[in-house]
């Protein structure tokens, strides 16, 4: 059984320089209260792994503006001009990863695989410095697994066993990131008693979740 904690208590767990896997796609499916608590606490030197850096005023985008992000591993920063400026100025290190490769690298980290063999990125700047493996005469990039110190997830429903159920396009990276971090913190729109989420609707089993954020 998980005890629901306040966002500021969750933020205190996260030390300077932590690597955070953050669910969400342009902020949809991102744990907004948790991110706000991290911004309020001011923890710096963070590495953010997320689909994108959102916009400067929303979700992980705000942590970029506040200067708390040292490094980001993302597929897209096009709608966050602050991030682009910081990258150009060398104030922030940004590794741009094809979206499909990003999710598979995180999955590999969580599923105990040694890496990802993909044709995506071959013949592009993404190939630079990477091992190429040939399988049955075809070439694939070997992309390394990604793991985080924390996964910060958002879901629609949670129960107090930690089971999570997502809706519509708010799934995105959340169910994959749930396996790829040392500590998993989930922020749900609704927390329900154990047994209220049918087993077939659970997309992240509670055994993966360490902490739940209490209701707002």
**Residue 175 touches which of a second copy, other proteins, none (Cβ within 5-8 Å per kind):** other proteins
Count of residues in contact with other proteins, rule CB under 8 A: 66
41 lies in the binding site for other proteins (CB under 8 A): no
72 forms beta bridges with: 48, 94
203 lies in the binding site for other proteins (CB under 8 A): yes
- Phi, psi of 103, rounded to the nearest 5 degrees: -70, -35
116, 154, 178, 212: which one binds a second copy (CB under 8 A): 116
Report the distance separating Cα 179 and Cα 151, nearest Å: 8
Query: Could you count the other beta carbons within 10 Å of the beta carbon of residue 176?
Result: 23
- Phi, psi of 161, rounded to the nearest 5 degrees: -85, -5
Q: Which of 66/101 has CB closer to other proteins?
A: 101
- Residues of span 172-211 touching a second copy by CB under 8 A: 199-201
Place of tokens 């985080």: 148
Tell me whether strands 4-5 and 211-213 are parallel, antiparallel or unpaired: parallel
What lies within 8 Å, CB to CB, of 83 at 6+ separation is 53, 56, 61, 64, 72, 77, 92, 94
Instruction: Name the one range near a second copy by CB under 8 A: 39-47, 50-58, 77-85, 160-168.
Output: 160-168
Kindly list the residues in this chain that would bind other proteins in the complex (CB under 8 A). Answer: 1, 25-29, 51-52, 74-79, 84, 87-88, 96, 98-101, 103-104, 107, 109-113, 118-126, 156, 159, 161, 163, 166-176, 179-180, 194-195, 199-200, 202-203, 205-208
């Amino acid at each position: 059984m998980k005890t629901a904690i306040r966002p500021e208590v969750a933020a205190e767990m996260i030390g300077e320089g932590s690597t955070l896997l953050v669910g969400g796609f342009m902020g949809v499916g991102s744990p907004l209260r948790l991110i706000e608590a991290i911004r309020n606490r001011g923890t710096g030197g963070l590495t953010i792994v997320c689909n994108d850096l959102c916009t400067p005023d929303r979700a992980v985008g705000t942590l970029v503006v506040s200067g708390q992000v040292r490094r980001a591993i993302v597929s897209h920063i096009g709608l966050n001009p602050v991030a682009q400026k910081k990258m150009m100025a060398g104030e922030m290190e940004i590794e741009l990863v094809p979206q499909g490769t990003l999710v598979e690298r995180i999955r590999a980290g969580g599923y105990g695989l040694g890496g990802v063999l993909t044709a995506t990125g071959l013949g592009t700047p993404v190939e630079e410095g990477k091992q190429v493996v040939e399988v049955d005469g075809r070439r694939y990039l070997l992309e390394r697994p990604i793991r985080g110190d924390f996964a910060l997830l958002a879901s629609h429903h949670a129960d107090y066993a930690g089971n999570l159920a997502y809706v519509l396009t708010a799934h995105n990276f959340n169910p994959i990131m749930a396996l790829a971090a040392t500590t998993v913190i989930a922020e749900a729109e609704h927390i329900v008693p154990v047994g209220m989420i049918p087993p077939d609707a659970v997309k992240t089993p509670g055994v993966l979740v360490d902490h739940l954020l209490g209701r707002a």
